[in-house]
Structure 1
Amino acid sequence: MFITFEGIDGSGKSTISKLIFDKLQKEGHKVILTREPGGDVIAEKLRKFILDTDNKDIKPWTEVLLYIAARKQHVDTKIKKALCEGNIVICDRFMDSTTAYQGFGRGLDIYKIDELQKYILEDNIPDLTIFFDINADQVLTRIKKRNETKDRLEEEGISFQKNVYQGYKKLIEKYPDRIKRVDATRSIDQVVNDTFEIINKKIKG
C-alpha cells in the first residue's frame, strides 16, 4: 500500500510520518518511510539543489520539471521495489505537492502539471493521501517558534502558503476517495490517533 502525507510547511506531517512509521512497525507491518523531494541518492541531490536559497532564479516550469524528475527517480529506484516486496510505503509529500505548490502557489496551468505527472509516473499513484489541515496563519506561529533556517520554498511567505493551502482544499474536493483530511491544529497524540485510524481502516478494507 502506498500512503502519502501532504500539507503546507509547518503542518506537522514530517513529525507525524515518523510516529506513524513507528506505530505501524510495532503493529507488525512491513513499512518504509521516505520523503520528497528525495528518498534516493540522486533525488536527494536534486532536493538540495531545488531548495537551496541561492537558487532563487529557478523559473516556475523548471521547478516543476526538477520536482517531477526527482519523483520519477524516487519511484523507479525505491517506491516500486518496496511495494513489490509487500511493504507499506509512507512518503512525506508526493505528486499533490507539485500541483499545490507549483500549480496553485506559482499560478501555473494545473491541467498541464497533472497530465505531465500522469504521463511520467504512469500508474504509480498513492492508494491513500492524508492532508494535515492547518491554515497558513496558524502555521506561521509554529514556524517562528522553530528558529530554523528556512529553505527556498519556506521563504516564499504567507501569501504563497495561503495559495498552496487553497490548492490542497481543491484537491480534496477533486479526489475525496483518495485524500482524507486530518485536523492538524490539535495535539500530536490526537493527530497521530486520527491518522492511524484512517490508515488502519484502509489496510483492513
Structure 2
Amino acid sequence: MTIRVRSLTDKQERYAAISALSDLRIRIFRGWPYLYDGTAEYEAAYLAEFISEPNAVLVVATDDDVIVGAATASPMVGQKPEFQLPLRVYGLDVEQIFYFGESVLLPEYQGQGLGHQFFDAREAAARAAGATQASFCAVVRPDDHPMRPQAPRDLAPFWRSRGYAPVDGLTAMLEWQDLGAADESAHPMQFWMRDL
C-alpha cells in the first residue's frame, strides 16, 4: 500500500478526477448518517461547480494512483445560499469563513492519519486565502432512526481534537433523497466551526 495525500491544483487534473470522486462520494454517503441515494450525474455537476470556485481546494488520498479518499473546501462566499444564510442571520461574516465541503475516505484506509492530513491541507489553504474561521456541516439524525447502526462511528471526538465545536443554534437545511425514499426531504445540518 503506497498512500499519498496531495492537493490537486491543476484544473485539468481536477476535472479528470470528477468521475472517481463522484463514485467515492456516492459510496461513502450511502452509509450512516447520510443515507444518501445519489446519482453520478448529480455528483459530477456538484463537484464541477464546487472545484470551479476561486480558491477552492481539492485534496485526494491515492493508493497506487487510485483515489481512496478526498476532501474539499472553498470560501463560504462561493457556497449555496442555504449554507450562507444561516451564518449571516447568526451575525457572522461569510467573507471571513472557509467552508469544508466533505471529507470521505474508504473504511479500510481510516485510522491512518489521513483525516488529519485532509484537515491540515484545507486549513492551510483557508489561511492562505485570508480566512479567519473554518466551518463544516454535519447531518443530524434522531437517535431512534430506523436505519441507525448498533454502534455508529462518532466523529465528534476527532473534530473536537482539531479545535472544532458545534455552534449552538446554527444549522442549515439541505435536501437530498434518502435511501428507500421516493422524494427528496430536508435534513438539518449542524455547523461546526473554529478560528484559524
**How would you bin the TM-score normalised by the shorter chain?**
0.3 to 0.5
**Higher percent of residues as helix:** 1
TM-score calculated relative to the size of structure 2: 0.36
**Higher percent of residues as strand:** 2
